[in-house]
Structure 1
């Protein structure tokens, strides 16, 4: 058996937070090692955010070429070369991974490639990818082990070898008919991308609406946008059986409000949620408790139930966004230095990278109603923003929720550059500014953010007391 090697800091998982904490601790003088079994840099640059948005952008270019005649450019009918789409993505990923490897080299943190399993509190046995075993112990341990795609318990689904968000990024063909199980962020982004590449696409969602966490008007708008592009969206529909094999021919039997239906397709993508990577790695041996969903149990400082063991990112139940993982790192870093940072007081934005995108920050209208929070709602079509008169990107709307104290409590936008406009509103919210400050700001013409002025002009007056 390998002799134990003692470290000041031991990190399991090379996600955004794990990398940052490893580099920070190493630069601070701690002897630090990070163990990663496969994805150097984590899921974001390898198999999730960045590669998916890379292909979403390729699909947008295909869409623009298809509609180029509207802008006075004459083209021959376009054809998607998925092998080139995939290579463009692969080239980007290779560059990102190289940058992460360089980060370990420059920081002094050791990158150990292998699979780790706890054999005692704060002690890992690592089966090295290159062969052999190492036993590592650490004074302080950080867990950043992420999640993986959920596989719903549908008869025949697993045997059909469906695509996951990882697999679909590696195909070199355009499916003739792609069925997407799940109407969340991932499912909708890929549904639109592959429709634009040339696939027939059907989205199946078991809930009454797609993007279930959003307000009904947002779901309705995105449904209309995708439907207008030729995507069939089925809600309140449950798949009960899958036959065949993805990549060849598959048949789905589903039940909905209209009864039972059979759908035939060439490929199926499963995008129905995430499962934490907490099973089978000895967390119980390490004294690290899990919650009822299998996520690592943490307090608002991201401390686990084991002394000197912290969990960061998705595995700790944090919102599943890279920017939240980065903030988890900042919270832990500052608390290790004697700070009092918490996960409970942060303002977390989100963005669905459909085209146009859906961006949101703060309170949603339905949540305000549910919680009994009085708000004044201002809403305006994105097409009322003057910039859209020049670009033609008029789909969607802007919506702001304003509290009784005149502060902005929430903002949603579906429209071109929605994420960037949202960031301006988020800044005002963080500063606690009354909405009039943003309404009356001199914002550059012609920008999408210029629409915030007329939007906030629509804020209703306070209700008479």
Structure 2
């Protein structure tokens, strides 16, 4: 261990073990670089521990429950009403997460990097003081340094909210009882996913969205379709509902008082109003690393910060808050740290909202395309028109594609229906290749599959 006055010199120092950071650390260590990575919270990062993986495991449980309830439609009779066993539910979720965390322990060790559980604080140019969980302290200076500390759930400044013990999107994963009534503040992607999940579990859910529609980044017609599906699952959606105060009563119930004077009472409250960057305590000023106006680490399209040889990636750098975007950041960083000229400019990042059914999106919405002055054609197809959806008795939803009227290129798509997160990748690849929509329309796609819906969707344009 280096003395505190003589920093230990390494090729790469990674602060935070999110998708980009851990992938880069393992890759460069395997390439023979000296690498130190420090993570202050959980092995594997947010996605594996408190976001994508555990939530999608629970979504899978909710869908299994819904399938059991619908089994008779398939000619299968189940004696008694299917119900949630919360202990089994937790065991399923924790088993999936635990297996992936353990796999990461082995991957980290096998890569040859120096992995430290602890905290990190910059003390100067490319130099970090690392305090391990066991109290050991060391100074490390990287030839290159990558900041990949991610984000954490944010709480709006609503009086009484914290005092009421409201859940955020991470705390709710530790639930020990299934609430009879759940109030959700925030109608974005996270709020809609949890609302759908808990409604399928049998909880009475009230979803409060402020100004405008739920899923505010989506076209109104798509948001309306999602809202209708959630309503059919039993979710009470209230738009224009701004929380003014939150109170927890002696009996444990939580009441949200709204700006219009009305109120909503439930057994528990989930706040899903977004996430904020994790930068506190990093000492970024000492490193010469600047933040943007939203508090994220400011980077250019090569992921360089304002400090030479200090880079940032993933959510903390303002990238789209998806693990696959952070994975692309890793590829950009790897290229640029080894003499390349990779960029995030113009990249096409699809995403999926894991409601039931799910909403998969890529590219421009119709609204965005028209705001850009594009002359567009719009294809629409009800999911009920897809043969595979009929065989599965899953016909809720609509598919939509936006096409340039002149070139025929696909500009974007919104696919709301079963398993569309698998299908949207084909649309993205067509867009990356600049294909005329007719190339996709005329492709020979296996029948009967959900992907065949692309033939049917684009055929509506002629």
Task: Give the TM-score band, short-chain normalised.
Answer: over 0.9
Once the 2 structures are TM-superposed, how far is the Cα of residue 127 of structure 1 from its aligned partner?
A: 2.0
Q: Is the 8 A contact 1:351 1:359 kept in 2?
A: yes
Give, in whole Å, the separation in 1 of the partners of 2:82 and 2:36. 49
Match of 1:120 among 117, 124, 127: 124
1:184 equivalent to 2:188? Answer yes
TM-score, with length taken from structure 2: 0.96
Match of 2:452 among 446, 450, 453: 450
**1:48-447, aligned counterparts within 5 Å?**
48-75=51-78, 76-244=80-248, 248-255=252-259, 259-403=260-404, 404-447=406-449
Once the 2 structures are TM-superposed, how far is the Cα of residue 246 of structure 1 from its aligned partner?
A: 11
Match of 1:10 among 13, 19, 25: 13
Once the 2 structures are TM-superposed, how far is the Cα of residue 245 of structure 1 from its aligned partner?
A: 6.7
Once the 2 structures are TM-superposed, how far is the Cα of residue 392 of structure 1 from its aligned partner?
A: 1.3
Structure 2 CA distance for partners of 1:270 and 1:414, relative to 1, 3 Å: same
Once the 2 structures are TM-superposed, how far is the Cα of residue 67 of structure 1 from its aligned partner?
A: 2.4
SS at match of 2:227: helix
Q: Is the 8 A contact 1:10 1:142 kept in 2?
A: yes
Moved more, 351-360 or 99-108: 99-108
Once the 2 structures are TM-superposed, how far is the Cα of residue 247 of structure 1 from its aligned partner?
A: 9.8
Give, in whole Å, the separation in 2 of the partners of 1:245 and 1:79. 29
Q: Is the 8 A contact 1:402 1:459 kept in 2?
A: no
SS at match of 1:296: coil
Give, in whole Å, the separation in 1 of the partners of 2:368 and 2:401. 14
**Which residue number in structure 2 is paired with residue 463 of structure 1?**
none
Give, in whole Å, the separation in 1 of the partners of 2:225 and 2:370. 20
Give, in whole Å, the separation in 1 of the partners of 2:49 and 2:139. 27
Q: Is the 8 A contact 1:247 1:266 kept in 2?
A: no
Structure 2 CA distance for partners of 1:246 and 1:58, relative to 1, 3 Å: farther
**Which residue number in structure 2 is paired with residue 33 of structure 1?**
36
Give, in whole Å, the separation in 2 of the partners of 1:212 and 1:74. 41
Q: Is the 8 A contact 1:160 1:246 kept in 2?
A: no
Give, in whole Å, the separation in 1 of the partners of 2:251 and 2:280. 30
Once the 2 structures are TM-superposed, how far is the Cα of residue 6 of structure 1 from its aligned partner?
A: 2.1
Q: Is the 8 A contact 1:83 1:173 kept in 2?
A: no
Q: Is the 8 A contact 1:246 1:266 kept in 2?
A: no
Once the 2 structures are TM-superposed, how far is the Cα of residue 305 of structure 1 from its aligned partner?
A: 0.3
SS at match of 1:83: helix
Once the 2 structures are TM-superposed, how far is the Cα of residue 70 of structure 1 from its aligned partner?
A: 2.5
1:459 equivalent to 2:436? Answer no
Q: Is the 8 A contact 1:161 1:246 kept in 2?
A: no
Structure 2 CA distance for partners of 1:223 and 1:284, relative to 1, 3 Å: same
Give, in whole Å, the separation in 2 of the partners of 1:340 and 1:127. 34
Moved more, 238-247 or 431-440: 238-247
Structure 2: runs of 5 or more not aligned: none
SS at match of 2:158: coil
Structure 2 CA distance for partners of 1:168 and 1:210, relative to 1, 3 Å: same
Structure 2 CA distance for partners of 1:61 and 1:334, relative to 1, 3 Å: same
Once the 2 structures are TM-superposed, how far is the Cα of residue 250 of structure 1 from its aligned partner?
A: 1.0
SS at match of 2:424: helix
Give, in whole Å, the separation in 1 of the partners of 2:461 and 2:341. 36
Moved more, 232-241 or 165-174: 165-174
Once the 2 structures are TM-superposed, how far is the Cα of residue 107 of structure 1 from its aligned partner?
A: 1.0
Structure 1: runs of 5 or more not aligned: 461-465
Once the 2 structures are TM-superposed, how far is the Cα of residue 335 of structure 1 from its aligned partner?
A: 1.7
Give, in whole Å, the separation in 2 of the partners of 1:134 and 1:246. 49
**Root mean square deviation, CA, Å:** 1.4
Structure 2 CA distance for partners of 1:247 and 1:191, relative to 1, 3 Å: farther
Give, in whole Å, the separation in 1 of the partners of 2:261 and 2:231. 22
Once the 2 structures are TM-superposed, how far is the Cα of residue 445 of structure 1 from its aligned partner?
A: 0.5
